[in-house]
Amino acid sequence: MEITHTWGGPHTSFRFTLDLPRECFGNFDTELSAVQTLAAALLESLPGRRPRSRTLKVICRLPFGAHRKASIEIPATDVAPLRQAVATLREGRQDAAAREDLGLALYARCFTNFVAQLVTSPPRNVRPEQRRLSLLLPAQFFAVHVLFAMRANDTRLEKLFKKLLAEDYDLRTYVEYAADFGWDEKQALVVAIVDRAFRGAWEKLGLSGVMYDPKAKCLLQGGEVVTPADAYRDPRGVLQQHLYRRHRGLDAVLVEEKRREEKRRGETWRKPGGGWTSYVQWAERTYLGEPGTAAREFRFIL
């Protein structure tokens, strides 16, 4: 399975093509382990190496699967920005931490792109950054769905969700109006959290976000009187547009498969050091942390 993706913004950006065996996908631990192995090989090749051709290609062997090779290919012109991104990820940490951070960063972006290819067709005739954000959205909803599914058995996560509702006025208002309109409150909370995570990016790109109707948002900003019923979008429509268009219930299928797998192994969701734990930690930091974290994480704003 080959995935081509662009990571970064106007100041730090590089393009890469990631080639992983198809059997790696669908299992979070296997996916992340493969990308971590690839990240380690990439870091070993970066320091003093200059591509002799137009691309830098790194190939590594995976400890699992029938096709045990994986590769990452980066244009020579993008090697310097990649080194800059790696230096930012290190921030004085040891090489082992840098490998884990780079692997998690690549994984988050590659998995995003993979899900986007499955479930969405981004709009045409839009600016490149707007299109990139549109491609990112499916996996953002998926990540928040995962956290929401885990909150029932995790009191700490439950407290974080309640804290968001108590402290964030825009998020709380949307969820409250959703209840008044007869919309699904759980879906509304997922949509509102994703909207909150990308604050700053919506404004920079001239987008209305996922909570608001595009036409109504312009009226609100212009000081016009608009009722909430006209301003807000039904969360069901948002999720159908960005997540369920071709694969309804994709998130539930993947989460249930993960549960079955761990039940067979006798493992728990929060096993220390596991790939799934790393994914959950990334999702928790990105979507339940400060507003605009995802916008910064994906380099839409600084």
More confident residue, 55 or 302: 55
- Of the residues 84, 119, 154, the one at which a domain ends: 119
Least confident of 181-185, 251-255, 276-280: 251-255
Q: Is 300 exposed, middle or buried (0-12, 13-18, 19+ CB in 10 A)?
A: buried
- Based on the domain organization, do 114 and 22 belong to the same domain? yes
- Based on the domain organization, do 201 and 53 belong to the same domain? no
- Of the residues 119, 143, 176, the one at which a domain ends: 119
- Based on the domain organization, do 175 and 228 belong to the same domain? yes
- Based on the domain organization, do 180 and 95 belong to the same domain? no
- Based on the domain organization, do 237 and 288 belong to the same domain? yes
- Give the pLDDT confidence score for residue 218 in this predicted structure: 57
pLDDT surpasses 70 at 41: yes
- Give the pLDDT confidence score for residue 248 in this predicted structure: 42
User: What is the three-state SS of 32-70?
Assistant: HHHHHHHHHHHHHHCCCCCCCCCEEEEEEECCCCCCCEE
More confident residue, 132 or 119: 132
- Based on the domain organization, do 192 and 55 belong to the same domain? no
Total number of domains constituting the chain: 2
CB 71 within 8 A of CB 59: yes
Secondary structure (3-state) at 194: helix
Confidence of residue 272 (pLDDT cuts 50, 70, 90): very low
Name residue, tokens 């909803």.
141
- Based on the domain organization, do 98 and 166 belong to the same domain? no
Candidate ranges 40-44, 86-90, 99-103, 118-122; pick with highest mean pLDDT? 40-44
- Based on the domain organization, do 21 and 51 belong to the same domain? yes
- Based on the domain organization, do 208 and 140 belong to the same domain? yes
The tens digit of pLDDT for each residue in 72-111 reads: 998 888 888 888 778 777 776 666 777 777 887 788 777 7
- Give the pLDDT confidence score for residue 200 in this predicted structure: 92
Give strand pairing partners of 72: 18, 58
- Based on the domain organization, do 135 and 193 belong to the same domain? yes
Whose CA is closest to 186, among 198, 197, 175, 172?
175
- Of the residues 95, 119, 143, the one at which a domain ends: 119
Q: Which amino acid is at 101?
A: D
- Based on the domain organization, do 186 and 294 belong to the same domain? yes
- Give the pLDDT confidence score for residue 112 in this predicted structure: 67
Query: How far is 139 from 108, CA to CA, in rounded Å?
Result: 9
Task: Return the DSSP state at 46.
Answer: S
- Give the pLDDT confidence score for residue 269 in this predicted structure: 41
The model's pTM: 0.67
Query: How far is 246 from 121, CA to CA, in rounded Å?
Result: 10
- Based on the domain organization, do 38 and 6 belong to the same domain? yes
Whose CA is closest to 110, among 60, 35, 21?
35
Confidence of residue 271 (pLDDT cuts 50, 70, 90): very low
- Give the pLDDT confidence score for residue 106 in this predicted structure: 83
> Residue 86 belongs to what domain range?
1-119
